[in-house]
Structure 1
């Protein structure tokens, strides 16, 4: 069992760490200098008599728990710090992991995990550190940031000696040991600074907080809340904010809002609303407290808003209840802010937290609301560095004064627009798992998830950069090294790559498919002019049966590798489903033709009009040593429906007829398409283009949320006027009436989708002339068996999984013929696999690699990547997308970015055989096992469990299951304990970095780098 206890860094070591890291890498706690916020003007804003350069900062949560977290926030632009809440119960055992921020965020930790005075020490250390940084880095002498303490959860606990000691200490820390320690340490080491001197250090104020935010538990009685606030205002003499809960809006409003915005799966507990403070009571309480605060000559306001309690229904986190925040909370919080402010005609001081980010922070601020704190956005890639963009947005809006009355007109407009704001609708980020199935390696882990997600592993970042630089022919060359269909896949690919794109955790995926099409359109002609027609190098011949995507891909790579290839097809042209089934409004025939010409340029020959009853023996008798079966899924899956079956037609035959001549089709006025995939969308949209058709319905037994069609295809269908009829299962078609069974969603099935269940006695009738069945095609097993190909249980065709060779020697199979209806790029993957296997048998080279067109280690590019990090930038123009690509194949560091405590560090290592420029080191003493790095790492593993770990204590080293190391003594002798593969060794470096015990060269190089260049990382507790 690994420890989840964090070890605070002593103040002198904290300062040394900051200065040494900055000197070495121009970063401080992982925040790059290019992301340091530098004030562009002298404008500030006031709050409680204090001034700030920006009114943005971290909310009370994981980002204000440790000193280093507060430092990272400050560097990138935060100037208001709501310190993590403390309470009398300060030895909590919180089940871990405790954070899940994949989209909207959930957490199960609600106050600091440190003892109260341990938290106090962190806040004092951070206070001193920020003073030093503002002077040393930005040459600012006057403090331009402020701290706000946060406490909970009942009056008795807040009045207890240890919470009172915490409050009084932050009001005036001068008598505390940690204050004296920090002050003495800075004075003793003043010579390590360039701009900080004794006079500056000595004037650092011990008055850390003049304000407080009260966070009460959900269900806290109104009288208790009011009593606490009066105590804080009168007895503690603190300006006070009180957190208001989104439950004030009422169960019905919240449920309805979530359902409309696509968050139907969020499970609410009605008692969370009925047991909590009610709106009317809350307003009356606030009115009384405003009067009381004025009498006490203190400022009083509300904090919008607390998190929302929801059920743990899908094992998201351990336990039964969790707390939701993030973009799904924004419409609730901003509407609650408007609703409350309306009761006070805008005369209400509001501090904001609830889904604020770079997309809305300026509009929130312009209503007069401030300060604005964030948490969820900081848990995602870019993390703390996201403050830079938010601070830059707010910088020109500062006005050197405290906000007065709220601008109710702007607040009302913002509240109304929030319910339709695309950035907060669930569909902005489909329920897609961005992780890959790969296991995280200890070293050399950087991957581009888009490449791994692509069935043919296209080198996406490479060609995106080339397109961005206008190097289209080179980009085209990169694409066709692995993909013979640049036009087809640039137009209709299901773009698995985009479902893995890291930018999904920023705003929206890079529009990769569109960039491929740009490269195809602008690079094709020059490439074809320079590329000579290829001639076979081998006497061995290959017959490819089927001129669809799988057969064409196999032929392309076989010919490229030097083999004589002939593609046979029953039709008159190549292209298969793409040519004959996909409508021309989806892809032009010119685009398909260009891809076919590229394949022909490789030397591929075609024979059309061939008998579809394939005989492998006949092809072998004609001198073809190898046969690749790419015959598609040739049988239609019939719709089981009673009545007028002659009015039921397969969607695929219909689309073929539509493409051949839509003018001769007679479908009647009303058409129903049964199914929810891309073929159903194509059929529905095509039917609308048939003369005489007035209404086309998509009939589906689940809801639209569960349709397997690509999201964009659903949108295109809606835009064309297709009508969606959800939760209906067709039963019969009789005399123009389609009778359907009404369905309801039951429990999830094996696919994770909720199972459709018939509603007894409930039916719906539709006036329908023609039904198009789009429920899939079937593999023609009879044809395969007649050729001696073995088929196993449940219709699984027996093939070698790596080569796709069947039970018949030198006969291969792939695409729809092997797995049923699939995608173009999936079919291309099979064709590629078969070609590779055949070429290997012939001793020929499989030519798929290319020479990189980009020098990836140049400083200019690395700086460009660093600048793109943490910048929210949605698609503006699909033809200008390269500057949104984060180039994860060269610079990832996601686990280092998203760790609130900075426990994952990027270390540049020049090692033996290491391929990545950077390596990730996990620091055990800074990790509290929150789980956030595991959420965003593109691998299936969690970095905090897998990466090489540096331990600060022998006990932690012994207790942890992690591979890792611990330096003995003070580390100066180069001796350390190492655990690898469950084996513990005592190892020592000599002066050249050689070890006295044989260990893995790469691991040795990594640890040697840490030992030699990063002393501040391990000399923390001694």
Structure 2
């Protein structure tokens, strides 16, 4: 087990520390003023369209985060609202809470589909109520202060479980009552007092706005029926919520309603045959025949009470843990495989209850949510998609694409069936092991960590980000110069490279990898650059025997060093083994010819139909001799019928001949690996190409924007070496912060200890073999938290800094710190001071 897969509480506390309302207020509006962002969200959704009717109110958009990791803390809810969420399913509460609720950590895995081993809120119920009331107030303020929308047209939907005794307990009853009307709670009173004492934070909000704040946080509730909820108690719980509490009520139903055989078939059809789940779970859960009769009774009961009863589809799906994905024995599946299950349950419900309200959360994302809405399902919430690159900004894309003011239509089983048929035929909904190839590897640097995974995955380390930047802007000559800096065969690699780089592309976690190889070919074809200027002859000669990829690359690199190069190939055309093994590329010869033209423009003499049988003459005529003809051909040239690899290496060494490609590697190699072999043999041949200035790059505006592959796909590049911040985006709690510190080449990632519950999600999306939540510089709000952790980081103690760096723990003045740590501490004090607790907070 790695340090990223510890159980909670072993070294670093996984307990989140909610902000006081005053601290939350100072953070939100302090960050707006100093950074033009809030919890790292710098792009806001502003609703300008119509609202729709929902229950007994109006809502601007019927979508937002599902009950789960994105609705646990107030900062989560703020981030979601800023990016366009207007319907919020608050995380489920139950009597078992806080430290009494043991959750194995890490608790989230979202590499392809998603799994979790968490369930209800990890806060105390009283803390959860505090977070939800605080967030409800802050969102109303932000709506006015930043002109984000109507402060009355968003909805909080609370969620409770899992027993009748539990939801009727004093603890949960107080929670429900407090969210129905918070005005009588101390939480509300203290928050209003803090607002009145801090009116200087606002430019638009005034005293009248404070007095008009609505304390009615929730008028609706969802009942979760997982984690041991007894089928016999479901109806009494729902009657209690509808009849006694007067709430519009949704029943969260489970995929088990489909029955084992149907669920097994659906998952098998989309490639999830490896998932293990027990038939007994279906038999012990609520059966559809019983559910149908119960729903009929509850619809009538709700009507009698002038409330709405509906269903929420669906809870996550329990499967066995068969590897080390997460700790424990059972985990809960969500994401794309849950989509086919949840949509199938929706069809089942709609067939029997065509007028029932169906709320939905099961694998919804930008590629299906609008079609879901057209089936009559509303509201719709999302979770798994928010756990991936882009994070909350994925909500913004959904919101900006929404057709505002359009009421949901009547439920359509036909449209649901058509959608199900489409997604089951769509490869994106199938199981994928791509996450296993995603990591570029290496240790995670504590500082200045941004890099291109695609570049690190490429054997010749091409600067993909730079040539994508130029290609996106149509500057193909500049892009071609960047390509040629590391790649002497742009046409061949643009046409037939294995494209290891694409396996590492961050967009694999979003939609599809950028078509790096295709863009490279476009650059080569659209550029006018066909040589490298300014090469000075060095007065030496070189012979390259073998005109395959290794030989062509070697000749190119030698010419760049100033050699007078002769390239000899025994066949009529260059290309070597490429022409024999690649049969499905009709343009291969044209790619070879184009790269040959670049060679000849560099001054390389290309001689085809040239069989060299006498190495001794070559050795006397040329200063350097390189063999790129394969081990078998080299042995034959030496007159050795069978030779071990070591024998060939020794023979080449004695003759002062350099082997390249297959003969050197002792294996068949790809085109790009042939080029890497040439680089290794020839050495550096730098041509001094200037990289673009990424300060004007609009990468931040691309975050969270999911797109299909484009003809000119360069625009989809995320330029990870300039703007990575994956760990920032994917953290539901906003516990990772990007600090843009003047004087540093890249932003610094600061981990905020109080917000972290060690879910581990950032580990999956970090391109290194690292865990940002454990390895990045961490800010601690107090000494106790610092001492309860092994993370590198610091806390402020009066005018001094208590810090940990490796095994060193010291306390000193800020000016006595050195390097990046000093820059971070000074930046927090000077520019991010709103995260530092003030007296009384």
Q: Is 2:662 the counterpart of 1:816?
A: yes
Distance 1:219 1:822, change over 3 A: farther
Name the CA distance, whole Å, in 2 between partners of 1:355 and 1:363.
13
Q: Is 2:706 the counterpart of 1:872?
A: yes
1:813-852 aligned within 5 A:
813-817=659-663, 818-836=665-683, 846-852=685-691
1:86-101 aligned within 5 A:
86-90=93-97, 91-101=100-110
Residue in 2 aligned with 1:856? Answer: 694
Residue in 2 aligned with 1:77? Answer: 84
Residue in 2 aligned with 1:553? Answer: 553
Cα distance per residue 1:189-246 (max 9 Å; x no partner)? 1232111111211222222111111112255332121221112112222111111111
Name the CA distance, whole Å, in 2 between partners of 1:614 and 1:957.
72
1:440-455 aligned within 5 A:
440-455=444-459
The answer as to whether partners of 2:162 and 2:228 remain within 8 angstroms in 1 is no
Which of 485, 488, 492 is residue 484 of structure 1 equivalent to?
Answer: 488
SS of residue paired to 2:486? coil
The answer as to whether partners of 2:47 and 2:149 remain within 8 angstroms in 1 is no
1:566-645 aligned within 5 A:
566-583=566-583, 585-609=585-609, 618=616, 621-632=619-630, 634=632
Name the CA distance, whole Å, in 2 between partners of 1:279 and 1:849.
69
Name the CA distance, whole Å, in 1 between partners of 2:584 and 2:576.
14
Name the CA distance, whole Å, in 2 between partners of 1:537 and 1:511.
39
Q: Is 2:815 the counterpart of 1:1017?
A: no
SS of residue paired to 2:529? helix
The answer as to whether partners of 1:141 and 1:200 remain within 8 angstroms in 2 is no
The answer as to whether partners of 1:488 and 1:587 remain within 8 angstroms in 2 is no
Deviation at 1:378, TM superposition (A): 0.5
Name the CA distance, whole Å, in 1 between partners of 2:623 and 2:547.
19
The answer as to whether partners of 1:444 and 1:915 remain within 8 angstroms in 2 is yes
Residue in 1 aligned with 2:254? Answer: 245
Residue in 2 aligned with 1:903? Answer: 735
Cα distance per residue 1:390-442 (max 9 Å; x no partner)? 11222x2424x6x5742344333323333223442336x84552111122111
Residue in 1 aligned with 2:716? Answer: 884
Name the CA distance, whole Å, in 2 between partners of 1:619 and 1:294.
100
SS of residue paired to 1:984? strand
Distance 1:21 1:533, change over 3 A: closer
SS of residue paired to 1:406? coil
Name the CA distance, whole Å, in 1 between partners of 2:767 and 2:191.
40
Name the CA distance, whole Å, in 2 between partners of 1:515 and 1:565.
30
Deviation at 1:633, TM superposition (A): 6.1
Residue in 2 aligned with 1:719? Answer: none
Q: Is 2:217 the counterpart of 1:208?
A: yes
Residue in 2 aligned with 1:160? Answer: 169
Deviation at 1:619, TM superposition (A): 6.5
- Aligned residue pairs total 827
Which of 355, 361, 370 is residue 362 of structure 1 equivalent to?
Answer: 370
Q: Is 2:761 the counterpart of 1:915?
A: no
SS of residue paired to 1:212? strand
Q: TM-score normalised to the size of structure 1?
A: 0.77
Residue in 1 aligned with 2:8? Answer: none
Residue in 2 aligned with 1:707? Answer: none
Name the CA distance, whole Å, in 2 between partners of 1:196 and 1:141.
13
The answer as to whether partners of 1:378 and 1:384 remain within 8 angstroms in 2 is yes
Cα distance per residue 1:685-737 (max 9 Å; x no partner)? xxxxxxxxxxxxxxxxxxxxxxxxxxxxxxxxxxxxxxxxxxxxxxxxxxxxx
Name the CA distance, whole Å, in 1 between partners of 2:706 and 2:594.
37
What are structure 1's unaligned runs of at least 5 residues? Answer: 636-779, 800-804, 837-844, 990-994
Which of 334, 338, 346 is residue 343 of structure 2 equivalent to?
Answer: 334
Which of 393, 414, 422 is residue 419 of structure 2 equivalent to?
Answer: 414
Distance 1:182 1:513, change over 3 A: same
Cα distance per residue 1:532-564 (max 9 Å; x no partner)? 69563143x444332221222122112201234
Residue in 2 aligned with 1:374? Answer: 382
Residue in 1 aligned with 2:3? Answer: none
The answer as to whether partners of 1:492 and 1:586 remain within 8 angstroms in 2 is no
Residue in 2 aligned with 1:136? Answer: 145
Name the CA distance, whole Å, in 1 between partners of 2:630 and 2:337.
43
The answer as to whether partners of 1:60 and 1:85 remain within 8 angstroms in 2 is yes
Which of 964, 980, 985 is residue 810 of structure 2 equivalent to?
Answer: 985
Residue in 2 aligned with 1:1001? Answer: 819
Distance 1:482 1:271, change over 3 A: same
Q: Which deviates further from its counterpart, 172-181 or 135-144?
A: 135-144
The answer as to whether partners of 1:62 and 1:84 remain within 8 angstroms in 2 is yes
Q: Say which structure is richer in helix.
A: 2
Cα distance per residue 1:324-357 (max 9 Å; x no partner)? 111221121112101111011x111100001111
Name the CA distance, whole Å, in 1 between partners of 2:639 and 2:170.
83
Distance 1:937 1:270, change over 3 A: same
Residue in 2 aligned with 1:699? Answer: none
Deviation at 1:84, TM superposition (A): 0.5
Name the CA distance, whole Å, in 1 between partners of 2:22 and 2:197.
10
Deviation at 1:136, TM superposition (A): 0.6
Residue in 1 aligned with 2:4? Answer: none
Deviation at 1:296, TM superposition (A): 2.4
Name the CA distance, whole Å, in 2 between partners of 1:536 and 1:361.
62
Which of 353, 365, 371 is residue 361 of structure 2 equivalent to?
Answer: 353
Name the CA distance, whole Å, in 1 between partners of 2:631 and 2:182.
76
Name the CA distance, whole Å, in 1 between partners of 2:789 and 2:649.
45
Name the CA distance, whole Å, in 2 between partners of 1:269 and 1:791.
54
Deviation at 1:1013, TM superposition (A): 1.4
Name the CA distance, whole Å, in 2 between partners of 1:1010 and 1:82.
33
SS of residue paired to 2:577? helix
Over the aligned positions, Cα root-mean-square deviation in angstroms equals 2.6
Name the CA distance, whole Å, in 1 between partners of 2:158 and 2:571.
75
The answer as to whether partners of 1:218 and 1:245 remain within 8 angstroms in 2 is no
1:427-438 aligned within 5 A:
430=434, 432-438=436-442
Name the CA distance, whole Å, in 1 between partners of 2:611 and 2:551.
16
The answer as to whether partners of 2:551 and 2:567 remain within 8 angstroms in 1 is yes
Name the CA distance, whole Å, in 2 between partners of 1:476 and 1:20.
45
Deviation at 1:566, TM superposition (A): 3.3
SS of residue paired to 2:694? coil
The answer as to whether partners of 1:543 and 1:619 remain within 8 angstroms in 2 is no
SS of residue paired to 2:829? helix
The answer as to whether partners of 2:139 and 2:151 remain within 8 angstroms in 1 is no
